[in-house]
Structure 1
Amino acid sequence: MNMGTSHRLSKSRFLAGLRCQKSLWLECHAPELADPVEETRQALFDQGHQVGALARERYAGGVLVSEDHLHSAQALDTTRRLLAEGVRCLYEGAFWHDGVLVRADILFRQNDEEWVLLEVKSSTSVKPEHLPDLAVQVYVLRGAGLPVTSARLLFMNKDYVYQGGAYDLGELFVEQDLTQEVETLLPEIPAHLKVMRQMLAGPLPDVPIGRRCAEPYQCRFFGYCHRSLPEYPVTELPRASADLLDSLIANGYYSLCDVPLEYPGLNDRQRAVCYLART
């Protein structure tokens, strides 16, 4: 098992590669070009850790694999040992298959033959990006020999009202079974991995900027890829669809000042913004 870190894929890198190959290439080859972590983003990370801790309280009695991302080999060893000892609930278990490392938020035995995967999110609903998140984990877990038969998302209940004191963990979270949706994605994962590895073996791919740079969250290399944009970039065009933004960039329009007011697809508000940018 080769655990070299430069081209090693993880869940987060796999998801980055689905979103933008350039982002994955930079993550593997030039991580020093990433934007500094701002306070707001750090606050989101901290919130995620807090939600994860509460989720473990809801599924109490498990064992935490405490080794961090800098000690992946040790985390894999600890996970194998705990499973061999018959642990029935595992937090942050580490698994490796087909060159991909994943850390599962919560795993518990449904019976002696089947395991349930729980991915914990601080969101208040299921989002499209959660499905490949679960799918790559199931792919790796099964490939590593763990018979996962159920993939579920645990997210925050938007209707929960805190009454003070200890949280009502049964009401704080919503659990949704996404196994059927995940199963439909599993056959696609080997092909995705092949494409990513081929891309990583070559030069930095030329991927134009677009809505993907900030959706569903801002890319770590946003600043690097946007460093040469003009003062009024087209990415600031209000409510521009991904197709419109891609069209503008493909046609060489990077500044709102240069966009023709008659450009196809612009609405009245967007034309007004382009007009004001050049005055």
Structure 2
Amino acid sequence: MLSKSQIMRGLQCKKSLWLRTHKPEERQLPEKVEGRFEQGTSIGELSQKLFPNGALVEFQKNNLELMCDQTQALIEQGCGTIYEATFKGNGVFASIDILHKDTRGWHIYEVKGSTQVKGIYIQDSACQYLAVKDRLDIASINIIYVNNNYTRFGDLDIEQLFCVEDITESAREAELNLIPVVTELHDIKKHTEEPRIDIGLHCSNPYPCDYSKYCRRHLTEPNIFNLYRLKKEKSTSITEMEW
């Protein structure tokens, strides 16, 4: 099984996925990442107020199976709103920020601290759909993001703070393309040799990689990346020529 985070890592760089599996000790979090994690947690908790009185599946770092069992138990008990609902299916483990049921069926809501829907969020939601589609009747897939046009006066208005965008069609299309990728990423994890992938724009797009220092270890100090305000595209192309 691959977790959603592993798939997203592999989509950005297969070498990063292999390193996370075989050389976890070389991982170094980029600057300010922890602050973004905390911000994401705060946004996630606030968004739950859009669907109040739900049940939370507690995170179990080393026991995703237990999270799946707890999710299934809540569904069988008739719970209509579940936070961090976790499923496994089609080779994927994935947690859903908010899973809500109404007369149409179940609705997936992925929460982001961004002020717009980005392409990478479609892939993210496609992973969730791939994991859950054989278990539940999914009526819609949605992104909840921050409304940057909202100005607070008095009490916080949760309905105004967030925007909700339906991405069902895009996520289902992305899920179809994701199935062969999951198989490939499973194979990458099993390889005994480190993939030969040079540094490039993918090292920071869409997210800063936590193995950047490891992959740049062959560069002397100072190097092209130390030059002030040099565009990433230019520094990368120069480095690739030197490498």
| Pairwise same-fold verdict (TM > 0.5) | yes
**Is the CA contact (8 Å cut-off) linking 1:108 and 1:116 kept in structure 2?**
yes
Deviation at 1:213, TM superposition (A): 0.8
**Is the CA contact (8 Å cut-off) linking 1:211 and 1:245 kept in structure 2?**
no
Taking a change above 3 Å as real, the CA distance of residues 36 and 125 of structure 1, as seen in their structure-2 partners, is: closer
Using the aligned pairs only, state the percent identity: 29
Greater C-alpha radius of gyration: 1
In structure 2, the partner of 1:78 is 70
In structure 1, the partner of 2:167 is 178
TM-score, L = length of structure 1: 0.80
CA distance in 2, matches of 1:23, 1:115: 34
**Is the CA contact (8 Å cut-off) linking 1:67 and 1:74 kept in structure 2?**
no
Deviation at 1:62, TM superposition (A): 1.0
Paired letter, 1:76: C
Pick one of 81, 91, 111 that aligns with 1:99: 91
Paired letter, 1:149: A
Paired letter, 1:65: V
TM-score, L = length of structure 2: 0.92
Q: Which runs of 5+ in 1 are unaligned?
A: 1-7, 255-279
In structure 1, the partner of 2:113 is 122
In structure 2, the partner of 1:137 is 128
Paired letter, 1:172: L
Number of residue pairs the alignment of both structures matches: 240
CA distance in 1, matches of 2:25, 2:139: 39
Q: Which runs of 5+ in 2 are unaligned?
A: none
CA distance in 1, matches of 2:120, 2:37: 17
Paired letter, 2:9: A
**Is the CA contact (8 Å cut-off) linking 2:12 and 2:206 kept in structure 1?**
no
Query: For residues 27-66 of structure 1, what are the structure 2 equivalents within 5 Å?
Result: 27-36=20-29, 38=31, 40-66=32-58
CA distance in 2, matches of 1:67, 1:198: 27
Deviation at 1:28, TM superposition (A): 1.6
Answer 1 or 2: higher relative contact order, Cα 8 Å, separation at least 6. Answer: 2
| RMSD across aligned positions (CA) | 1.9
Deviation at 1:81, TM superposition (A): 0.5
Q: Deviations over 1:56-110 (max 9, x none)?
A: 1121021111133233122111111001111111100110112211110001113
Query: For residues 261-276 of structure 1, what are the structure 2 equivalents within 5 Å?
Result: none
Deviation at 1:212, TM superposition (A): 1.2
